[in-house]
Amino acid sequence: MTSPLETRSLSLNREGNTVLDGVSFAVAKGEIFALLGGNGAGKSSTLLAFLGFIQPASGDILVNGTSVTSDVVTARSAIAYLPEAASLYGHLTAYENLDYFLDLAGKSANKTDYDQALDRVALPDEARSRRLQSYSKGMRQKTAIALALLRETPILLLDEPTSGLDPVAIDEFHDLVKNLASAGQTILMVTHDVYGACQVADRIGLLRRGQLVGSFSAENGKRIDTETVHAAFAEREAA
């Protein structure tokens, strides 16, 4: 069966440096896979490669069985991407940002659709008609998450998705991600947050200096053990 997301011996170079070195993994439909690593591990570069913004130095990267290098348009049409710092417009309201970016993506929605998405990310009603320049980082992130939901794509890429969110909002976000996966959406998230990855992921790949050096899976309906992953993360980072 074709995996929605797959890398095959993928190597990436940026500015003359190897940022990913022979990495292979596949993410199944309805699975939450977390790439865990420190700064410079190659996490964000992996996401950019799935979007076709970085070309492989060797190996291949596939979306629904199609090589990104041969058909990037088809690959991107299946993906919603949430960067760590979403580039939304401060002079526009939440509604206006959603309307503008959905139009760019060739999608249409109405205010009811917007409110349903904003309800799911718990953005307060009173904030939705305010300009984003008055928002906290967490509120801007919630708006960006709502935009990703409205795209209604089968694949979701998340780059440090809970950055700037308070603990309650983080728990709400994790519940949302798990509900999306239960409905069949494939989710690849990259993070340096060991606890968050263990809370939400079905599998974790430990990435260090561009190589996958560890793998952890949730078993029998239980969460991945945080202490085990933290110990491996700390050991690898100190090496």
Q: Is residue 218 part of a domain?
A: yes
For residues 127 and 157, state if they share a domain: no
For residues 100 and 205, state if they share a domain: no
Residue with tokens 């996401």: 47
Q: What is the pLDDT of residues 167-214, one digit of tens each?
A: 887 888 888 889 889 989 999 999 999 999 999 999 999 999 899 999
188-214 b/e (C-beta count within 10 Å ≥ 16 → b): bbbbbbbebbbbbbbbbbbbbbbbbbb
Q: What is the mean pLDDT of the chain?
A: 90
For residues 143 and 28, state if they share a domain: no
Six-digit token pair at 215?
A: 């793998």
For residues 142 and 43, state if they share a domain: no
The residue from 100, 119, 152 where one domain ends is 152
Q: Which domain holds residue 109?
A: 89-152
For residues 114 and 223, state if they share a domain: no
For residues 107 and 40, state if they share a domain: no
Six-digit token pair at 99?
A: 């309307």
> Model confidence at 86, in pLDDT bands (50, 70, 90)?
confident
Q: How many domains does the chain have?
A: 2
> Is 24's pLDDT higher than 90?
yes
Query: What one-letter code names the amino acid at 203?
Result: R
Give the burial class of 157: count Cβ atoms within 10 A of its Cβ; 0-12 exposed, 13-18 middle, 19 or more buried.
buried
Give me the pLDDT at residue 237, please.
Answer: 56
The residue from 152, 182, 204 where one domain ends is 152
Residue 14, domain CATH = 3.40.50.300
For residues 13 and 74, state if they share a domain: yes
Q: Is residue 84 part of a domain?
A: no
For residues 125 and 144, state if they share a domain: yes
Give me the pLDDT at residue 169, please.
Answer: 79
Q: Is residue 25 part of a domain?
A: yes
Q: What is the pLDDT of residues 46-60, one digit of tens each?
A: 999 999 999 999 999
